[in-house]
Amino acid sequence: MENLLSLAFDNLSSYDGPKIRKGLRQVEGLMANICLPKKQKLPKGKMSDTSSEEDEDARAPKSLSGLTEDPVFHEFFKLQEGFEWNLAHRLVTTLDRLIAKGGDGQNDLLILSALDLLQGVSLLHPPSRKIFGRESNMNLLLDLLEPDFCPAIQCSTMRVLNIALVDNPQNTRTYENLDGLLTVTSLFKSRGTNKEVKYRCMEFLYFYLMPETPSIPSVANARESVPAMLQRSPSKLAKAFQISTDPENGGNRSRSDSDNGYIRSQADKQAILCRYLGNIDDLLGDLQKSAVFGGALN
């Protein structure tokens, strides 16, 4: 796996579009090998009724329990714990170079591919999301929400932004400090914004108002195995890291031993969002009535 990652990183480090595309495809192949089950070999002499392309489409993703028992996934997860082989860091660096090259159709396709892979890596290795606690990396996502970029890139960026903030209060504080809410609400309110992008912005604001939980630790610092950590719910995460109320802040914020920043209460975040969007009460009411995100806001 190290050899494959090394080849992919060499290509991703290039300024040549075709080489970057090759590197992205190599990463995609690695992730497909982890997430998709191997094809079943047919007995000798028996032909498949479907084409190879249809066979590929029919391969359903592995279940979470199946994934966490896979030795290939464990090897991948272990490699991602170190800086040298961390895919999220490499993909963010690649995105930075692609943005600097300017916009054209081919470059936009490379940006979309890198964003899709960054989304997948962040889901397969949750501790990698910590890179978005750095202002430069969070700014990169906010730059991709500018009107200069096509709606497809804006939608894909919103999905990555959602994942970057899951179980990472420190990332959320970085996002707030960089006026991320102004960026998203301005995009949402603009008449020129694509309908699908507006929907993704509203989806993100729903998510932003959810109660916060502590950051997911790296495996090196975790008390549990990889499968146990990945299958935990946010409520269990909160209990495991023993979030305590901070009396100096009137009990509205709490701190985890693993977090450098405060965990804001829902009321705190509502007050912040009110600076940029007026109908917060209506938004919260809609969330509670529809039981979005499994009724986590009730």
CATH number for the domain spanning 138: value is 1.25.10
Overall domain count for the chain:
1
Residue 196 lies in a domain: yes
Residue 122 lies in a domain: yes
Contact 275, 268 (CB under 8 A): no
Residue 222 lies in a domain: yes
pLDDT(167) > 90: no
pLDDT(137) > 70: yes
Lowest mean pLDDT among 24-33, 97-106, 233-242: 233-242
- What is the reported pLDDT for 92? 96
Residue 133 lies in a domain: yes
Res. 211 pLDDT band, cuts 50 70 90: confident
- What is the reported pLDDT for 64? 60
Residue 50 lies in a domain: no
Range of the domain at 115: 2-32+62-295
Q: What's the whole-number average pLDDT of the chain?
A: 77
Res. 107 pLDDT band, cuts 50 70 90: very high
Residue 56 lies in a domain: no
- What is the reported pLDDT for 270? 87
Residue 257 lies in a domain: yes
pLDDT(239) > 80: no
Mean pLDDT to the nearest integer, 164-173 = 92
- What is the reported pLDDT for 60? 62
Mean pLDDT to the nearest integer, 45-58 = 46
Mean pLDDT to the nearest integer, 84-102 = 92
Res. 285 pLDDT band, cuts 50 70 90: low
Residue 41 lies in a domain: no
pLDDT(156) > 50: yes
Res. 73 pLDDT band, cuts 50 70 90: confident
pTM: 0.75
